[in-house]
Amino acid sequence: MEPSLELDLHIAARGSRLASLHAALREAIANGRLAPGLRLPSSRELAASVGVSRNTAVAAYELLASEGWLESRGASGSYVAELPRAAVQVSDRASVAPWADSPWLRGEITPLPWSIPTGPRPAYRFMTGTPDIASFPFEVLRRLRTRALQALARKPASYPRPQGLPALREAIAKHVSSSRAVACTADDIVITAGAQQAFDLIARVLVTPGQTLAAVEDPGYPPLRAALASAGARLAPVPVDRDGLVVGALPAGTRIVCVTPSHQFPLGVALSLARRRELLNWAAREQAVIVEDDYDGEFRFTPRPLDALKTLDRDGRVFYVGTLSKSMLPALRIGFIVAPAWARDALVTARQTLDFSSPALLQMAVADFIAEGHLLRHVRRMRGEYAERRRVLEQSLQRHLGAQAEVYPAIAGLHLAVALPVDCDELARRAWTAGVGVEPLSRYRMAAGGPDGLVFGYGAIDAARIPEAVRRLAQVLGTL
């Protein structure tokens, strides 16, 4: 398709039309209005759009190409050249708004504060937070999405509600009621763009900038900490042991406690039933609220999971955050909050202010996917697959690392944490070079010290590839 030049080029009415066109195009490139790599209109189209002869347009292109401003690619046309920054007149001033003082501009908000090692991508990657995308029933979702599109064509809808489509909220309420024993109705659900937006909305509603003290697990989930910090919360790291969050270490004055009780991120341990009751009692005494992140608790390896904090909550203190990124697809970006009644309207208003709502077409398709039982079937099938990968991983760790590797106990989830008596940052760097991608626990810590080890995500690696990956890791470990 012929590109057009939606740019006001001032061509002098008198004098050399060629010189005027050449200067106008060169200035547009120099000041960045015509970006590097942009395909320009043909000489015929340019001539017609600016009111010059085609010969003038051809001459202007040739002159700019000779000066290095354009690249001619034969029949493909003329393109703006990739130029050194010094040749482009772009302001390098640190700030044109010195009055702006936000944590983003100050560089204090870093959702992912770790760097990925350089070099080729490793052949074996234990990625955390990533499910087995290849096993997802894409054809089913495609069919449901087509059906939703046809329904919209028959009865065009207006903007979807900020709280989420009733059908999707109803489907999610039934799903979490049956799968996680969280008693709720569609009215209790607020649909979000993934769990991260859920954290952001909760922080916007609950945090008083500079005053609210929020306790977070350490090690813990960096994007959750970022959502709280961006809202102005003061963060208090709280240690985690084999029974989960150490409730006795919660500082006085804490108003928000964030936990991953089903499968602590990243250690993987479960918050014991005694600790769950202790935390709820503590929250009642301190008038605090709890944010329960149940990101992959559906993939459990025991006949019955521990009750969710939301299930045990009798005071309306728990905000239960769920996501379909692990049970379905990360690309869907659908999460939800089972919200206490007193906070629901505020969360919906915050969602409306932030981005209004999630796409109706996607919500309709996902609602049918859940309601027709496809999600439950997929979760049950993958639960067995992930259990097998976990078994193979544990056997491989025992075989190749032996007593050096102390596996943290876990009853659910898509990753496994292992304590090792070495510098695990250096081990992870060398392992990457050797073709094995694995994360050190240090990437998730706030305070200095704490447990040292590695995190193995097995959601996106086949069971057959795990033994060789661990064997290579053991070889690297032997060089430390």
d(CA 223, CA 195): 10
111 pLDDT more than 90: no
Mean pLDDT of the region 462-466: 97
Q: What share of the chain is helix, strand, coil (3-state, %, to 5)?
A: 45, 15, 40
Tell me the C-alpha distance between 29 and 89, whole Å: 9
Greater pLDDT, 347 or 115? 347
Q: What is the mean pLDDT of the chain?
A: 90
Paired tokens of 227 = 């959502």
**Mean pLDDT value of segment 211-239:** 95
Lowest-confidence segment of 49-63, 89-103, 275-289, 416-430 by average pLDDT: 89-103
- Regarding predicted confidence, which is higher, 469 or 90? 469
* Model confidence band, residue 50 (pLDDT cutoffs 50, 70, 90): confident
pLDDT of 160 > 60? The answer is yes
Look at residue 157 in the predicted model and tell me its pLDDT. Answer: 74
Q: Which two tokens stand for residue 50?
A: 């600016």
Q: Extract the tokens encoding 30.
A: 């120099």
For residue 96, what pLDDT is reported? 67
Where do the structural domains in the chain lie, given as residue ranges? 17-87, 124-134+377-477, 158-373
pLDDT of residue 131: 95
Q: Is 9 a residue whose pLDDT tops 90?
A: no
Comparing 84-98, 292-306, 395-409, which segment has the lowest mean pLDDT? 84-98
Per-residue exposure over 264-296, b if at least 16 CB sit within 10 Å of its own CB, e if not: bbbbbbbbbeebbebbbebbeeeebbbbbbbbb
Average pLDDT over residues 274-283: 96
- 372 CB-side CA count, 13 A: 11
pTM (two decimals):
0.85
What pLDDT does 82 receive?
Answer: 85
For residue 267, what are its two tokens? Answer: 């250690």
| Predicted local confidence at residue 448, as pLDDT | 81
Measured torsion, CA atoms of residues 118, 123, 124, 127, in degrees rounded to the nearest 10: 50
What SS3 class is residue 130?
A: coil
C-alpha to C-alpha distance for 203 and 201, rounded to whole angstroms: 5
pLDDT at 93: 57
Closest to 324 (Cα-Cα) out of 360, 357, 369 = 369
Nearest to 262 by CA among 351, 214, 326, 349: 326
Element (H, E) at 422: none
Q: What does the radius of gyration of the chain's CA atoms come to, in whole angstroms?
A: 28
Report the CATH number of the 158-373 domain: 3.40.640.10
Which tens digits make up the pLDDT trace of 184-222?
999 999 999 999 999 999 999 999 999 999 999 999 999
* Model confidence at 475: pLDDT above 70: yes
Burial of 383 (0-12, 13-18, 19+ CB in 10 A): middle
CATH of 17-87, one of 1.10.10.10, 1.20.1250.20, 3.30.70.890, 3.40.50.1220: 1.10.10.10
The amino acid present at 411, given as its one-letter code, is: I
Indicate the CATH number of 124-134+377-477 among 3.90.1150.10, 2.60.40.10, 3.40.50.300, 3.40.605.10.
3.90.1150.10
Question: Which residue spans within 260-413 are E strands per DSSP?
Answer: 289-293, 318-323, 335-338, 406-407
**444 touches 234 (CB < 8 A):** no
Q: What is the pLDDT of residues 306-357, one digit of tens each?
A: 789 999 999 999 999 999 999 999 999 999 999 999 999 999 999 999 999 9
pLDDT of residue 87: 55
Lowest mean pLDDT among 87-101, 266-280, 400-414: 87-101
The residue among 201, 228, 208 whose CA lies nearest residue 350 is: 201
Q: What are phi and psi of 294, to 5 degrees?
A: -110, 70
Nearest to 291 by CA among 339, 356, 359, 240: 339
pLDDT at 282 over 90: yes
Helix (H) or strand (E) holding 256: strand 254-259
Mind giving me the DSSP string for 188-216?
A: GEEEESHHHHHHHHHHHHH--TTT-EEEE
Residue 399 confidence (pLDDT): 96
Mark residue 301 as left, alpha or beta (left: phi above 0; alpha: psi -120 to 50; beta: remaining): alpha
pLDDT > 90 fraction of the chain, expressed in percent and rounded: 72
420 contact partners, CB below 8 Å, separation of at least 6: 401, 404, 405, 406, 427, 452, 453, 454, 477
Dihedral over alpha carbons 245, 260, 177, 363 (to 10 degrees): 160
Cβ atoms within 10 Å, residue 106: 9
Cα 87 to Cα 5, 10, 30: the distances in Å are: 22, 22, 7
DSSP single-letter state for residue 233: P
The confidence score (pLDDT) of residue 280 equals 97
What percentage of the chain carries pLDDT values higher than 70? 93
